[in-house]
Amino acid sequence: MIRVLWAQIQRDLRVAYRRAGDVASPLMFFALVTSLVPLAIAPSRTVLQNLGPGILWIGALLAMLLSLNALFRQDLDDGSMEQLAIGQHPLPALMLAKSIAHWLVAGVPLVLLAPVLAVTYHLSAPTVSALMITLLLGTPTLSLLGSFGAALTAGVRQSGGLLALLVLPLCLPVLMFGARATALAGLGESIAGPLYLLAALLALALTLLPLATAAAIRISLD
């Protein structure tokens, strides 16, 4: 089973990097949004430090959503999703593998890019460290939630708006806890509470969302 999951992840990674534009677009969106906001608000160092964690997290969330539109589209069009659904391997495990591949393509680059963009908000080293930790915990949950939303709308053409409406409310706890932990780090306070909540959300998502995604894919195929 592990070999099968690893093969599925490798396959999705190869497919994703063949479409370099789809991989680069969310990163460019994240960089542009978070870089332009400081130019549109007061250039005060204190204001930027207060707003930075929330803006960076909002940018990361929207960039993750932007990468979800075509998550299952090609698999449905070429019939490979049907083969996965009727195959001998558990579909929830394969959906988990696809979510991991999405996180590796869309989430990990955001985590690595965030410290560079944090410079424009004059964030301190502890704040940047907290930002990276919260993104490492939060972006996998966003990928799992996004995979569930993409599976629900897989059979709908031009489903970007519907997907955002479905997924954004579910992502709000991750956004709030992640931004709050980063802000607390800037104030020199403990971030243990929000981190525990982010870890709990990730554990819950890993447990339930692959099952829900597999069920949604079967509905879309029907």
Per-residue model confidence as pLDDT tens digits over 118-166: 888 888 899 999 999 999 999 999 999 999 988 888 766 666 677 888 8
Tokens of 30: 């994240």
Count how many domains the chain has: 1
Which residues constitute the domain of residue 98? Answer: 2-221
pLDDT for the residue 217: 87
| Rounded percentage of the chain residues whose pLDDT exceeds 90 | 40
Rounded Cα–Cα distance for residues 133 and 168 (Å): 21
Q: Which position has the higher pLDDT, 22 or 40?
A: 40
Put simply, whether the predicted model's pTM sits higher than 0.85 gets the answer yes
Nearest to 27 by CA among 139, 131, 130, 129: 139
pLDDT for the residue 78: 73
Tens-place pLDDT, residues 62-82 = 998 888 876 777 777 777 777
149 alpha-carbon distance from chain centroid: 12
**Which range, 4-13, 25-34, 126-135, has the best average confidence (pLDDT)?**
126-135
Q: What angle do CA 44, 45, 47 make, to 5 degrees?
A: 65
Helix (H, G, I), strand (E, B) or coil at 16: helix
118 alpha-carbon distance from chain centroid: 18
